[in-house]
Structures are given as structure tokens and as C-alpha cells.
Amino acid sequence: MKNFFNILLTFSFFFLLTLTSSLRSSTLPDLIESLTSSVVRIETTNITKQNPHITGDPFFDEFFRRQFGDETRPRTSKGLGSGFIYSADGYVVTNFHVIEKANDISVVLEDDNRYEAEVVGTDPRTDLALLKISGDIALNKVKIGDSDKLRIGEGVIAIGNPLGFGATVTTGIISAKGRYIDGLGTYVDFLQTDAALNRGNSGGPLFNFNGEVVGVNTAIAANGQGIGFAIPISMAINVIKDLQNTGKVQRGWMGVVVQKITPEIADSLGLKSTKGALISRVLNDGPAFKAKLKRGDIILSINKNKVLTYEDLPKEVGKLKPGTKVSLVILRDSKELDFDVELGDIPEPKITQATKSDAAAKKFGIIVNEVLDPSENNKTMILVTNIAKGSSESRIFQKGDVILEINRQVIDNIKSFNLALKKIKSGQNCLFLIQRKNKDSELTLYKSVKSN
């Protein structure tokens, strides 16, 4: 009798498994069919003026300029990406990097009808952009889900335009949540998925099996397989609404530069753990400066939300608007203190007129600009804005680096920069002090390079 019930139980289990599989196989195509009409192809055109004799090597470029002059010709390049219809009145969401350099943007629907798009607003800090198409169009908008409720292992569907092949569907699972990807967004906790993503999927939607958008596909791991990343829709939706309403995103700004607390730093400061965000700079006249925060303070929490790593702080601050008052718990001299800070607006550096440095291009293959930093009372600084392609310096400098010193000589404007370069002899090693902010933290690097 016992064996009979075991056999019956086993049979029932396999029957239910087969029935579930059959139902899924029949309903999944129906679901996908209902979703594809809300996914679009983004086509871009970028027209630039280019000197056909430029090679990227400063020595040969100077030679060709002397021979042929600064001849330029228009060069047209095409770009592809994906997006999805956010609203029935023509708003379309995609990635900022998809349309960043575009002169013309077209949105192509599932039926191959093409519409010119205007840029409503962009947010490079989260790599999101909102477009608008107009006309007598019947649009099928997406349903917005809740990415906060996603669980590891939950099934997802990616639909997009990989490699220009048109509407392509891949499925997978949520592999991880809360991923921080260096250089991909200070304010984003990425979703990781093994649904196959390729170049051209950028900006396309990641759906759950209820047909709701839970992410915006953004990046892949270049040297991996089955590792893709999406912006969680619960974070993205706030950005999208701001862009729709005002064309820009306003974020709170505290006016501090924070860095990771390494075990070595924790040991030297007598800390029991590496949790928190260590303030390495307090910017003059910023909100933190006015609230009397100091360099060396450790931020433990903001509005009762624990700051476990230094990346947590800009994400929490970025969720809030300028003018918002936040409460902080600070560790200073082994004592926990409470501070209230009123957040400000993120200042943007302004480029001055004195931007040219021929010496920089010839010696190191870099283009530098003198900029005004409003966060430091419009203090001038030297910013690396471009690097010669394929040069050895491309492994040392990064766009956005601020050059503070050369061979221990302070650099604060183009004049002092050029004077320092003149002192460097051919083949001589030189020492750069570089401030790097690509992670909203100060990373001081000493690099030894050879001039040409």
C-alpha cells in the first residue's frame, strides 16, 4: 500500500511538472508577442569634421599639419540601440550613451514605421535619456514593475535590437542585485542578468514574467559570458519623471569627497570595522562645510540608513532634492556625533578661454582644458579632456583627470602647466599628482611617464 502511494505521488508530481511546463511554453510566446510592440529600435546619425591625415600620434599629426594644413572633411557615422515606449503620447526611454553624440535620432517601431525623435532630457549620471516622437501613432506603452521586489533567480526577458538584427528576445534570470560597476554610474545599483545582451541592446527593456519592465538594459561584461547589467526601473522611474516634467534631474549635493575605508586605514585610525564613508575633502562653502563637517570624519548613516560602504553615500544623497535637510551620524575622534546638513545643487565646472596647450599634445598626447570649479570658489584647475588614441599615456591618464602637480610643482592654470612641461627634458621621467573623481572619491596617483 505504501509503495502504491509513493508511485501515485511520483506520478502526480511529474504530471504537474509537465502541465506547468506546457502552460509556460504556451503562455510565454503569447506574453512576448504582446510585449514586442512596446520595444523600439533607436537609429542615430553623427556628423563630425575630421582631418583625414590625423593618426592619433602627436609627432606624425604635427608633421601632416605642416604638410597639408588643418584640412577637415565631414564624416558620418551611424549608431544603433534600443528603447521602449514609456507613454502612449510618445515618450520613449533609452540609454544616454545611445544618443549622446547624435545629430539625428530616429525611433523605429515594430511595424518598421520610422519617426524623428527629439531629446526631452538626459541624465549622464545614470545613463538615461528620454525622447519624444509625435504624430498620429497608436502606441503600446509598457507596464512599469517594481524592481525592488525582484528576487535572485527570478525569470526575466530582454527584448532589443542587438547588432542591428531587429527585435530579438532572450530570457534568463536575475543573477544578482545591487551591483556597483566602476565608471557606469555613481547613483545606480545595477541588476545583473544572464539573459543574453549584445551591442545594440542598450536602452531596451528587461521584463519580468508578468510583462512588466523591471530594468533598462545598459551594459555587458566585455570579457565574460552571460553577465549583463540593467538599471533597476524603481530607480530609473524617478529620473524619467524628472526628465518628463523639467527636462533635467535635480540631485542633492553634500559637498564632500569620500573614499573607501580599507583595513589599513581602519587599523591606523583604531576603527573596529571598515564600514562607513571616510571624508577625504570638504569643499569650500558647500553644504557640509557650512554644517562644520571635517576631513577625517566618517559618515555612518544618513537619515537612519546605514552607510556600509563609501558608494552608499552618493546613492542615498542622489535620491534627494536640493534643499532637503538630512540627518547624519558621524564618527569623529572615536565619538558618534549628530549633524544636520541642508543639501545643495551639484555645481558644474566651467571652461575658461585659456584652454590650449600645444606642449601637452606634443609631449604626452593629451588635451587639457583650464576649467573653473564652482565647488571651490571658482578655483582654476587643469582637466584632461582627451587622449591620443593608442598612446601609452592612454594607460595612465583618463578623461576627467585633474592634474595637480608635475614633478612636485603645483599646477593651477595653463601658464604653470606649460612652464612645468618646458622643464621636462626629452626622455626624462616625470611625476604627476592626479586627482581622479570618476567614482566620486579622491584617488591620488603618482605615475612615472616618459616624454617624447
What CATH number is given to the structural domain containing 307?
Answer: 2.30.42.10
Give percent above pLDDT 90 in the chain.
Answer: 45
Range name among 43-57, 121-135, 209-223, 274-288 with the lowest pLDDT average: 43-57
Domain that holds residue 369: 350-450
Residue 136 is a catalytic residue = no
Asked whether residue 154 carries a pLDDT value surpassing 60, the answer given is: yes
Q: Are residues 289 and 375 in the same domain?
A: no
- Residue 14 resides in a domain: no
Beta-ladder partners of 217: 230
CB atoms within 10 A of CB 63: 13
Indicate if 327 and 261 belong to the same structural domain.
yes
pLDDT at residue 421, as a whole number: 80
Residues 313, 393, single domain; the answer is: no
300 & 232 share domain: no
Closest by Cα among 26, 107, 42, 108 to 80: 42
Question: Which of 345, 374, 398 is the last residue in one of the domains?
Answer: 345
Average pLDDT over every residue of 188-212: 93
Let me know if residue 34 belongs to a domain. no
Give mean pLDDT, residues 122-138.
90
Pair (307, 358) in one structural domain: no
Return the pLDDT at 361: 59
Q: Which of 148-162, 176-190, 368-382 has the highest mean pLDDT?
A: 148-162
375 plus 436 within the same structural domain: yes
Q: Does 288 fall in a domain?
A: yes
Confidence of residue 62 (pLDDT cuts 50, 70, 90): low
Q: Which of 26-30, 39-43, 212-216, 356-360 has the lowest mean pLDDT?
A: 356-360
In a shared domain, residues 398 and 433: yes
**Of 38, 97, 297, 373, catalytic:** 97
Q: Are 434 and 444 in contact (CB under 8 A)?
A: yes
- Summarised one tens digit per residue, pLDDT across range 86-98 is 999 999 999 999 9
* 330-355 residue pLDDT tens: 999 989 999 999 999 887 766 665 55
Average pLDDT over residues 434-451: 50
357 and 340 within one domain: no
298 falls within a domain: yes
User: Mean pLDDT over residues 352-361, rounded?
Assistant: 59
- Residues 422 and 341 grouped into a single domain: no
Report the predicted TM-score, pTM, of the whole model to 2 decimal places: 0.68
> What would the 3-class secondary structure string for the chain be?
CHHHHHHHHHHHHHHHHHHHHHHHHHHHHHHHHHHHHHEEEEEEEEEEEECCCCCCCHHHHHHHHHHHCCCCEEEEEEEEEEEEECCCCCEEEECHHHHCCCCEEEEECCCCCEEECEEEEEECCCCEEEEECCCCCCCCCCEECCHHHCCCCCEEEEEECHHHCCCEEEEEEEEEEEECCCCCCCCCCEEEECCCCCCCCCCCEEEECCCEEEEEEEEECCCCCCCEEEEEHHHHHHHHHHHHHHCCCCCEECCEEEECCCHHHHHHHCCCCCCCEEEEEECCCCHHHHCCCCCCCEEEEECCEECCCCCHHHHHHHCCCCCCEEEEEEEECCEEEEEEEECEECCCCEECCCCCCHHHHHHHCEEEEEEEEHHHCCEEEEEEEEECCCCHHHHCCCCCCEEEEECCEECCCHHHHHHHHHCCCCCCEEEEEEEECCCCCCEEEEEEEECC
- Which of 38, 61, 123, 127 is catalytic? The answer is 127
Could you tell me if 421 and 362 are in contact, meaning their C-beta atoms sit under 8 angstroms apart?
no
Among residues 207, 230, 246, the one where a domain terminates is 246
Domain boundary among 310, 345, 380: 345
**Residue 301 among the catalytic residues:** no
Look at residue 9 and tell me if it is in a domain.
Answer: no
Whether residue 391 has pLDDT greater than 70? no
Question: What is d(CA 106, CA 113) in angstroms, rounded to the nearest whole number?
Answer: 10
**Model pLDDT, residue 409:** 82
Active-site position among 175, 202, 357, 441 = 202
What's the whole-number mean pLDDT along residues 223-233?
A: 90
Residues 261 and 286 in one domain: yes
Q: How many independent structural domains does the chain possess? A: 4
Q: For this structure, is 106 an active site residue?
A: no
Neighbouring residues of 211: CB distance < 8 A, sequence distance ≥ 6: 31, 34, 35, 143
Q: Is residue 11 part of a domain?
A: no
Give the pLDDT band (50/70/90) at residue 445.
very low
Q: Report whether pLDDT(170) > 60.
A: yes
388 domain residue, yes or no: yes
CATH number for the domain harbouring residue 122: 2.40.10.10
> 70 with 90, same domain?
yes
| Ramachandran category for residue 112: left, alpha or beta (phi over 0 → left; psi -120 to 50 → alpha) | left
Residue 59 lies in a domain: yes
For residues 359-365, give the mean pLDDT: 64
Nearest to 233 by CA among 207, 253, 211: 207
56 and 149 share a domain? no
